[in-house]
Structure 1
Amino acid sequence: MIEIDELLQQEAWRFWDQSLSGKSKSALESFAADDLLCHLVGQGQSPATVRTWVHDQTVVLGIQDHRLPFVDDAQDFLRTQGFTPIVRNSGGLAVVLDAGVLNISIVLSELVQPIDISAGYEVMLEFVRLLLPEAEGKIEAYEIVGSYCPGSYDLSIDGKKFAGISQRRLRKGIAVQIYLCIDGSGSERAELIRQFYDIGVQGEDTKFTYPDIKPEVMASINELLGTSFTIQDIVIRIQQLLQHLTPKVISQSITEDEVALYQFYMQRVLDRNKKMLEK
């Protein structure tokens, strides 16, 4: 069985920081970027990669969210609140992205050895624990009932969720993705999603059970630790952590040789999103 330390201590890490450049772009571009990295890393064309990204005023919906009885009304509500809804063609439910939420993707290869789903989650859990020594011994991973997009690897401190983890697998590449609520109000983000579901369901019977959001069970890292971290503070910590984990960190965005493949995955993401919105 592959060890978590082995997955973290790569011979080299590629680091692609989009925490500033991605704010004004659609989150769909980030899904395409992770698909690109899965392909490259999975096929041995790039070292294991950490990508950081931020998108402002966006709510990313899952497939089940788009099946809400009154989904059009619910999406219109998000727009009135200044948020752009998009649909990802994967599991999971609605999550909020804004200027206080840092997303991290850790992209690993299964070319030599398989990595099971639980190992993927454990890699990100350990990465976050190393990133936040102030929270030593406090970060737990279990489902926080009443949070948005609940899952068995919700990360919490004192029962309050500040992060959620998902995975994307493609061509022997694995993108383990996390949203970290660094700054701002976790309960205000949760209240937005609570209202989204109230408007989307409106008391109708549904085959799928949507979460009963309790805003008080969600918080940001700054709220939980009494800190004043900015997104850039954490991005710098990520760079420092990678330098600790490997003798070689390659700071590299997309290369000229990778542009055509990125455009392929971008078009695929756009086509899928359009198809979902037409349903």
Structure 2
Amino acid sequence: MRILRGRSPTVRADREHTARLLAAAADGLPGVRVWAPPRQVAFGRRDAREPGYDRARRAAQTVGFTPFERDVGGRAVAYSGETLAFAVSIPLDGNRGSIDERHATVAGAVRSALEGTGGTVSHGEPPDAFCPGDHSLRVGGTSAGGKLAGIAQRVRADAALVAGCLVVSRSDAAASTTALEPVYDALGVPFEPESIGSVAEAGGPSDGRRVARAVENALVERSDGDPRRVERVGPEPW
């Protein structure tokens, strides 16, 4: 099991580390990465087809977020610099389960990690959430709980990458709201600013390092990832 820690200073260079994680999985080596990416708004392919896409990119830049188009579908996601990203690369050289099974495994691991740090978390998301999808996590214990994590999957013939974002602190949620409100407005996509939750709002810690390590351990354990090989690809922000 290959574990990557740290980040590069630019969005493009940072994303290359995750691309190499997927390439290694194609050669049979699974991997996990949990980190805080550089400040950015990651647009999906659907966003790039909207008439207001260029205006949305400018809106992100205006509030200090680098616009970047990722190579999967979905809608825009903001990474404030505190927001965590997680990725699990899985070789498809045998019975590694279906797409839904991989989604369920990763979502279950993340939820278990957050609950282990004191958070109350449920599956699902409120209406008009950022990057809406079927594999989200929200603040539990209330019907009004905001979305704190979204999960997507990229599948190739030889490997899969299950990845997502995780809003940690209240300041993280506020910064993401500041970025996404004008972005979604430009795209003409419904977005409710109050729909963004956080680990802290769920009763968990605001400490990014603590949350990252908890999620990393849970993902490795669910991936049967022993022995572990930790590689530093750059500094961590904590």
TM-score, with length taken from structure 2 = 0.83
Change (3 A) 1:101 1:146: same
Measured after TM superposition, the shift of residue 168 of structure 1 is 1.3
Measured after TM superposition, the shift of residue 137 of structure 1 is 9.0
State the one-letter code of the partner of 2:105: V
Q: In structure 2, what is the equivalent of residue 53 of structure 1?
A: 35
Measured after TM superposition, the shift of residue 234 of structure 1 is 2.1
Deviations 1:198-245 (A, max 9, x none): 2344xxxxxxxx3x11111211111221x4432211233345544796
Deviations 1:114-152 (A, max 9, x none): 421111111111211231234779422224321110001
Aligned runs of 1:1-279 on 2, under 5 Å? 13-18=1-6, 21-22=7-8, 24-26=9-11, 28-44=12-28, 46=29, 48-134=30-116, 138-158=120-140, 159-183=145-169, 184-201=171-188, 210=189, 212-225=190-203, 227-238=204-215, 240-241=217-218, 242=220, 247-253=226-232
CA distance in 2: counterparts of 1:160 and 1:147, whole angstroms: 8
CA distance in 1: counterparts of 2:71 and 2:164, whole angstroms: 17
Aligned-partner SS, 2:130: coil
Change (3 A) 1:37 1:101: same
Identity rate, percent: 22
Measured after TM superposition, the shift of residue 111 of structure 1 is 0.1
Structure 2: runs of 5 or more not aligned:
234-238
Change (3 A) 1:153 1:87: same
CA distance in 1: counterparts of 2:33 and 2:148, whole angstroms: 19
CA distance in 1: counterparts of 2:125 and 2:221, whole angstroms: 32
Q: Matched residue pairs, number?
A: 226
CA distance in 2: counterparts of 1:240 and 1:153, whole angstroms: 20
Output the aligned Cα RMSD.
2.5
Structure richer in helix, relative to its length: 1
Measured after TM superposition, the shift of residue 196 of structure 1 is 1.4
- Larger Cα Rg: Structure 1 or Structure 2? 1
State the one-letter code of the partner of 2:206: F
Structure 1: runs of 5 or more not aligned:
1-12, 202-209, 255-279
Aligned 8 A contact 2:42 2:69 in 1: yes
